[in-house]
Structures are given as structure tokens and as C-alpha cells.
Amino acid sequence: MDVAIELKLLAAAVVVGLVQLLWAAGAARAQQDMKWAAGPRDTPMPITGVAARLERAFWNFAETFPFFAVAVLAAAVAGKLGQPLTVWGAWAYVVGRALYVPLYATGVPLVRTIVWFVAMAGMLAVLAALFR
């Protein structure tokens, strides 16, 4: 049985999220004391610059990914995969989320926002397929 492209893109989104998590954690650990990181972290140790932007970008991903995952899985259950809205929507979400991180990390303001909107539009396209 062939796996639908939207489900493959859902898996790709998981990879994007894991890469973001590891990138953000690595950048944060470069600024934080390893003894602190290995401990209970009762006292906050703030991060700045690129590390802070990577952390914010990861949490932005973490806010949207569950909605995307549910939309793709709902489309799968409803038998709606393979439609242009679900295929192009899933592509837009994954590519948008992958591009968002380096744009945010390097401090590119307007393009980053446009890319975020592309990803959101992709997720909304997948949702829209459920109502067709």
C-alpha cells in the first residue's frame, strides 16, 4: 500500500520540529552552564540573541503543529487525501515551517512573516478540504 503524500509530509513536519528542538537546545546550551542544564533548573538562566530566537521559533512551531497534524489525520479518516487542497496545503505548511526557522534565527522580519502566513494558509487549505 502506498502512503499518501500528505502523511509523508506530516512525518516531514515531525522531522522539522525535531531539528528545530535540537537546534534551539544546542544554541541555548552554548550560553548556559552545563551544570545548570543537568540540574533541576530551579533558577532561570535566560538566553539571548540567536538562541532566544531559535527557542521562540520552536515554540511557535509547537503551537501550530498539533493543528496541522489533526487536520491531516482528519482528512485521512474522511478519505479526503490526494486532493489539491490537501497536497498543496501540506507542502505549504512543511516548507513554510522549514524556512521560517532560519529566517527567524537570522532576524529577517518581513519575509519571515510572509513565510509564516504561507504555512498557516497551507494548514487552512488542508482543513478546507474537509468541508468540500
Query: How remote is the C-alpha of 23 from its chain's centroid?
Result: 13
Domain that holds residue 103: 5-129
Q: List own/partner pairs for 45-54 with CB under 8 A and 24 or more apart.
A: 50/105, 50/106, 51/24, 51/27, 53/104, 53/105, 53/107, 54/20, 54/23, 54/24, 54/27, 54/28, 54/101, 54/104, 54/105
CATH number, position 72: 1.20.120.550
Number of domains in the chain: 1
Alpha-carbon distances of 95 from 12, 36, 46, rounded to whole Å: 9, 35, 30
Q: What percent of the chain has pLDDT over 90?
A: 85
Backbone angles phi, psi at 128, to 5 degrees: -60, -30
Confidence at residue 34, expressed as pLDDT on a 0 to 100 scale: 80
In this prediction the pTM is: 0.93
User: Which DSSP category does 106 fall into?
Assistant: T
Q: Cell numbers 550560553 correspond to what residue?
A: 31
Residues 6, 9, 10, 11, CA torsion sign: positive
Confidence at residue 41, expressed as pLDDT on a 0 to 100 scale: 83
Confidence at residue 95, expressed as pLDDT on a 0 to 100 scale: 98
Question: For residue range 31-86, what is the model confidence (pLDDT) as tens digits?
Answer: 887 888 888 888 888 999 999 999 999 999 999 999 999 999 999 999 999 999 99
Per-residue cell: 100: 521560517
Query: Mean pLDDT over all residues of the chain?
Result: 95
